[in-house]
A and B are shown apart, each in its own frame.
Chain A
Amino acid sequence: GAGVSQSPRYKVAKRGQDVALRCDPISGHVSLFWYQQALGQGPEFLTYFQNEAQLDKSGLPSDRFFAERPEGSVSTLKIQRTQQEDSAVYLCASSLRQGVSEQYFGPGTRLTVT
């Protein structure tokens, strides 16, 4: 496809379960970003990759959150031992290169922790 895709689109997890959220960026895009959007709020930065290198993970809210992009393309955001406060929409974005390139957003994964 031409855009950023994310899967699953919806995920319901029981508190304490681990979840994995996948992002397929636009082919050839070097930069990849994860954001968290709580209900009624704007997206907040979680982490940033340039190719396979995770250059900034300052937005990850706790050590239960882990992201990887081992081959510089697909990325996975993993949340261990989910808590209710993790319920949010998780957005992935990619851009062609660092600098002035536009970021293209995926549709998001809505995570509900019960």
Chain B
Amino acid sequence: GDSVTQMEGPVTLSEEAFLTINCTYTATGYPSLFWYVQYPGEGLQLLLKATKADDKGSNKGFEATYRKETTSFHLEKGSVQVSDSAVYFCALRKVNRDDKIIFGKGTRLHILP
């Protein structure tokens, strides 16, 4: 079945460091890919998305590129801030009769000042 695998956390970085969180997926067809973020005490928020191969999603300095050849959607940010500390979920959705989202297990990110 369809699935998402992302790197396990926690990931701890110093402020202004470069961030990569790896994500790979398994799916038939052409899913849309997403990164969601869950800040402490808050609900899930969509961070960025890409709907077809080679699309790049970006938001708040974060980027991810839909790579069909490697079935990957790695999240990157050039210079992280303390406020980026949160749990990040990679996810996919196949647009069909039901649009359920399939999530990875999440990666907790700690940014040290």
Contact = CB atoms under 8 A, between A and B. Distances in A.
Nearest to B44: A105
B108 to A, nearest CB: 9
Given A41-B106, A42-B104, A103 B99 contact: yes
Interface residues of B, number: 22
Contact of B32 (A40, A55, A100, A107): A100
A55 B44 CA distance: 24
Contacts of A105: 43-45
B89 to A, nearest CB: 5
Given A48-B100, A59-B100, A102-B49, 18 more contacts: A40-B105, A41-B106, A42-B89, A42-B103, A42-B104, A42-B105, A42-B106, A43-B89, A44-B103, A45-B101, A55-B97, A91-B43, A98-B99, A100-B32, A103-B46, A103-B99, A103-B101, A105-B45
- Identify the 6 closest CB pairs spanning chains A and B, nearest first: A42-B103, A45-B100, A105-B44, A56-B98, A107-B43, A48-B98
